[in-house]
Amino acid sequence: MLDKTHNKNAISWVAIPENSDFTLQNLPFGIFSTKDNPNRRAGVAIGHQIVDLEKITSHFKSIHEDLNTVFSSSTLNDFIALGKEVHTQVRHQLFDLLSEGNTSISEAVLVQQKDATLHLPIQIGDYTDFYSSKEHATNVGTMFRGKDNALMPNWTQMPIGYHGRSSSIVVSGTSIHRPKGQKMPPNAEQPVYGPSSRMDIELEMGFVIGKSTSLGDVVEAEKAEDYIFGMLLFNDWSARDIQKWEYVPLGPFLGKNFGSTVSPWIVTMDALEPFRIEGPSQDPTPLSYLQTTGARAFDIQLEVSMQPKGIAPKVIAQSNFKYLYWSMSQQLAHQTVNGCNINVGDMYASGTISGPTKDSFGSLLELTWNGTEPLTMSDGSERTFIEDYDTLILKGWCEKDGLRIGFGEAIGQILPSKE
């Protein structure tokens, strides 16, 4: 539901640049440290600044007694565990404190983002990656199985996913070394070992679990958003040559688990409320446990830029979260339908988000059609897959009727393989 925090005309006493991702109506949560205070602690982004929540705990004492301590934690998990009602009240209080005319706090509680180090905002227990874009699944299936057999029979019946490696999820700005593994060269009879030559990205969004369940519990699709704290950008780095050789019969493994990059700020579900829309129509009608009412998709504009070392970045794709066939609610309902328990801080990724046109494809595999149609960079050089020292930049934002909120950036550079 919309409330005062969604008022597009509300103004902050903090200077916020035009087209900033971090408006008064956003107030995303993250973890940061500074040179003069290296302790990791919770903050909220606004404009180019960070509100140091550790310095203003007295303003939240009437909401929950644990708010005196949770903002001093090195992750957001303890704060998230306090529940949605607390999250909403804290967000409303922050909105009031930062609104024009309020003098309860001063610039002394602000830190310049450029002077801070941003950290992975949560302790991630488990991580699941879905495969929920029909356009992406169709493109990949067409490449490797032909147009007539692009989608497997189960794809339109349930959200397909796999359990990934949470330990290798890193925050934006962290470099990733090119992975090594087994590959089967074209027309070869034996696999070879070495660095991947088909490094790729996957444009995804992630969501963070805000409420735990017990083993055997099932999260109903209709109530699934009660268990979601917020969202962030997610880049699922992929080694396509390693993945292609290993994925039969059990699916992704070494081609995926060497690294994934997330943006540092978690945008709450409350902040996203004005951008809720209907998702794609689903045919056949999902089974009853996957059915929901109301709009369950979000109009989140997404962008990917590629930057070879020493030259200007170039936008190579523009997509939208609304293209996903399976919603977050359906993904979480399917994850738990067998009684699988979930925990605060667990992360779920959407799968590559591709749209209906070539410029909206969310991976290089699709954008270059398996390496056969190179992309031209800003200096005239070409890319089919990622080369060493290339940097990939993911951005995401929502904008409607003069109201804007954004997710910042998820940036990562590919370094050569370690010896």
Q: Which residues are catalytic?
A: 136
Locus of tokens 């029909």:
134
b/e string for 127-166 if b means 16 or more Cβ within 10 A?
bbbbbbbbbbbbbbbbeeeeeeebeeeebeebbbbbebbb
In whole angstroms, give the CA distance from residue 103 to residue 414. 46
Task: Say if residues 129 and 161 touch (Cβ distance below 8 Å).
Answer: yes
φ, ψ dihedrals at 393, nearest 5°: -125, 120
Nearest in space to 304 (alpha carbons), one of 390, 389, 409, 230: 409
Question: Which of the 8 DSSP states describes residue 339?
Answer: -
Q: Which helix (H) or strand (E) holds 145?
A: helix 134-145
Nearest in space to 154 (alpha carbons), one of 313, 345, 331, 284: 284
* Preceding peptide of 159 cis, ω within 30°: no
Single-letter amino acid, residue 405: I
Locus of tokens 């310095």:
55
In whole angstroms, give the CA distance from residue 36 to residue 55. 14
The CB density around residue 40, as the number of other CB atoms within 10 Å, is 18
Task: Say if residues 45 and 26 touch (Cβ distance below 8 Å).
Answer: yes
Which residues, 6 or more positions from 141, have their beta carbon under 8 angstroms from its beta carbon?
A: 149, 150, 151, 152
The CB density around residue 117, as the number of other CB atoms within 10 Å, is 14
Query: Could you give the count of Cα atoms lying within 13 Å of 244 in the half-sphere of its Cβ?
Result: 20
